[in-house]
Copies of this chain bind each other. A is one copy, B any other.
């Protein structure tokens, strides 16, 4: 497969594939002239990368997981920890979502007057200000799917 084929099949732009290769996340299996050729396994690797990203891993962390050489060797502790982190994040997000819904539905003319909203703000001030979760990114922002 050439780079365009991989790009088409995965939705990952060619520029990103080159970038990933430079970072050592994927490997091409040779050149056809000067064009990279990719083995089909790269599709799985890219899926794994996407999964990692969705889980909030940095590319470096993902790299560590499939690094040694061939197939993914996975750091189970890290995965567990990340899962915990995600669960904590989910909790906070649920609170935020509820808060937003309340704010959206609240009939009070000014939100200053709404006690629930006040409570929410207070929780935000407490909980959010002190949140230590790292900058987990959710979704790969894809501009040109």
Q: A residues near B, CB below 8 A?
A: 10-12, 43-44, 46-48, 50-51, 53-55, 71-72, 74, 76-77, 79-80, 82-83, 86-87, 89-90, 92-94, 96-101, 103-105, 110-112, 120-122, 124-125, 128-142, 145
Contact = CB atoms under 8 A, between A and B. Distances in A.
A93 B105 CA distance: 26
A38 to B, nearest CB: 15
B79 A90 contact: no
A129 B93 contact: no
Contacts of A46: 125
Contact of A92 (B44, B54, B74, B96): B54
Number of copies: 2
A21 to B, nearest CB: 18
19 contacts: A11-B129, A11-B130, A47-B125, A47-B128, A55-B100, A72-B111, A72-B112, A76-B103, A79-B103, A79-B104, A83-B98, A89-B139, A90-B90, A90-B93, A128-B139, A129-B140, A132-B139, A132-B145, A134-B141
